[in-house]
Amino acid sequence: MKYMLIMRATDEAFARMGEVDFDEILATMGRYNEEMIRAGVLVAAEGLDDAAEGVVVDYSSEPPVVTDGPYGETKELFGGFYILNVSSKEEAVEWAKRSPMTGPGFKTEIRRVTTIDEFPQDNEWIQKERAWREATGQL
């Protein structure tokens, strides 16, 4: 089963990260990543750019409203993610508990990644996606 670990932090927690030597952050995260690679559970991992560089597309109106970052009422920012291939939600939780990015204001949300097999296989769009995944080596 695949699980996504969504790394979240408050603005204050992100600001505290700016006080830590960047090479130290890279080494700490690198050791964590290497541990998951050696265990054979890491599928993907990416960090995200500063929220001030992002945009939000709000579909509450027609046409949608595009707003440049930083965002006004943000309590927690999505700073990056991991995709793990593990045997259970409990195993995903155990990996999340080992994350080096901890302390006040840091959280990890864990969500199972659904598979294409969970959708109606007689649907033409699912069939097209399955064909694309097979053609690109994803299945």
pTM: 0.84
Please tell me the predicted confidence (pLDDT) of residue 11: 81
Please tell me the predicted confidence (pLDDT) of residue 14: 82
What is the rounded end-to-end Cα distance, in angstroms, of the chain? Answer: 14
Tens of pLDDT, residue by residue over 96-123, are: 999 998 889 999 999 999 999 999 999 9
> Which pLDDT band holds residue 94 (cuts at 50, 70, 90)?
very high
Q: Is the pLDDT of residue 72 over 70?
A: no
Going along the chain from its start, the domains and CATH numbers come out as: 2-135 (3.30.70.1060)
DSSP letter (8 states) at residue 65: E
> Which pLDDT band holds residue 71 (cuts at 50, 70, 90)?
low
Tens of pLDDT, residue by residue over 8-57, are: 988 888 888 888 899 999 999 999 999 999 999 999 999 988 888 888 88
Phi, psi of 32 (to 5 degrees): -65, -45
Mean pLDDT computed over 59-87: 85
Please tell me the predicted confidence (pLDDT) of residue 73: 61
Answer with the residue of higher pLDDT: 96 or 73: 96
